[in-house]
Amino acid sequence: MSSRHSWFLGMAIVLTASAGAAAQSWTPPRTAGGQPDLQGIWTNGTVTPLERPSEFAGKEFLTEQEAAAFENQVVVSRDSDRRGQTAETDLQWAYNNAWYDWGSKVVKTRRTSIIIDPSDGKIPPLTAKGQAMARALAAQRSRPPAGPEDIGLAERCLVFPTAGTPMLPYTYNNNYRIVQVPGYVVILIEMVHDVRIIPIDGRPHVASGVRQWFGDSRGHWEGNTLVVETTNFNGKTRFAFLYNGLTDENYHLTERFTRTDPDTVLYRFTVDDPTVFTRPFTGELTMSKTGATIYEYACQEGNYAMAGMLAGARTDEQRAAGTGKK
């Protein structure tokens, strides 16, 4: 992972300790077609890390006091209005706090990690092939990009995998609009304006030779829960790329959406890629209803920044060779 992204590792979420009980005691409204109504604009911005921090080893939930202290610690560490200490600080915090959407400080749950299985709250170890993929990725990122293909998908405005498969929080643009129409559930992702169109009419997945950035999703209802199975990934998006996540064409994602009260959707996902990970793993987070509006994220492939990024890479190479301007 590049240094400019390493400070994103603490991105967070707060989960409900009583979500299961709430889901059993509350009956969700129905759409005109009789399905549980998941519609609305939801945000998954939060302060619980993807993996359990070492200081919380063996501790699945925090007390209310511990959760409040942890949230305060995260808020202080993410204060991008702390300027002037060093030149590096000014570059790191290129935006001020007005640009960020880290999530509410209100404690909905007190989990210490998004990952709930394995029980240690950690992503499982990589397989031998997964380790080789990680080394290759690290080597690619350690040198100036030779061309556009060496630059990250988000920087190229192609896709933002963390926001789509699975749906994990980022530093901003954490909103999702869910729309239900006959035969489909549609999810508009605010980040990079992607749209997931999920058939729920029982049709099979597309042919195995058809590969897509966000894979091929098919949904069905199990009681009040929408279950979405996604396959046919193109192997280029990588699970949770900000966390150095890796996946390939064998990636299988299972997601479960359950509305547990008027303002909450419980979202659970399972990542299964036997090529890369030694075992599947599961995460869980909550999505809160918001009165916010989703605005266009005007990020376009082939934008003018590409020429500047590649020109900068060539300058870095020249300086390293001692032939460029200093």
Has residue 315 been placed in a domain? Answer: no
Per-residue pLDDT, 88? 54
Per-residue pLDDT, 242? 47
Has residue 267 been placed in a domain? Answer: yes
Has residue 314 been placed in a domain? Answer: no
In this structure, is the dihedral angle defined by the CA atoms of residues 46, 10, 53 and 122, taken in order, positive or negative? positive
Per-residue pLDDT, 108? 67
How many structural domains comprise the chain? 1
Per-residue pLDDT, 82? 66
Per-residue pLDDT, 7? 29
Residue 309 CB-half CA count within 13 A: 16
Query: What is the distance between the alpha carbons of residues 121 and 100, in angstroms, rounded to a whole number?
Result: 26
Q: How many CB atoms lie within 10 A of CB 235?
A: 16
Beta bridge partners of 264: 261, 288
Has residue 52 been placed in a domain? Answer: yes
Beta bridge partners of 233: 212
Cβ contacts of 113 within 8 Å, gap of 6 or more: 48, 49, 50, 51, 52, 53, 56, 121, 122
Containing structural domain, residue 41: 3-305
Per-residue pLDDT, 123? 92
Per-residue pLDDT, 100? 75
Per-residue pLDDT, 278? 95
Has residue 57 been placed in a domain? Answer: yes
Pick from 101, 64, 295, 255: nearest CA to 164: 255
Has residue 317 been placed in a domain? Answer: no
Has residue 114 been placed in a domain? Answer: yes
Query: What is the distance between the alpha carbons of residues 102 and 174, in angstroms, rounded to a whole number?
Result: 9
Ranges of the chain with pLDDT below 70? 1-24, 82-94, 103-108, 161-162, 238-245, 301-302, 324-326
Has residue 316 been placed in a domain? Answer: no
In this structure, is the dihedral angle defined by the CA atoms of residues 77, 81, 85 and 86, taken in order, positive or negative? positive
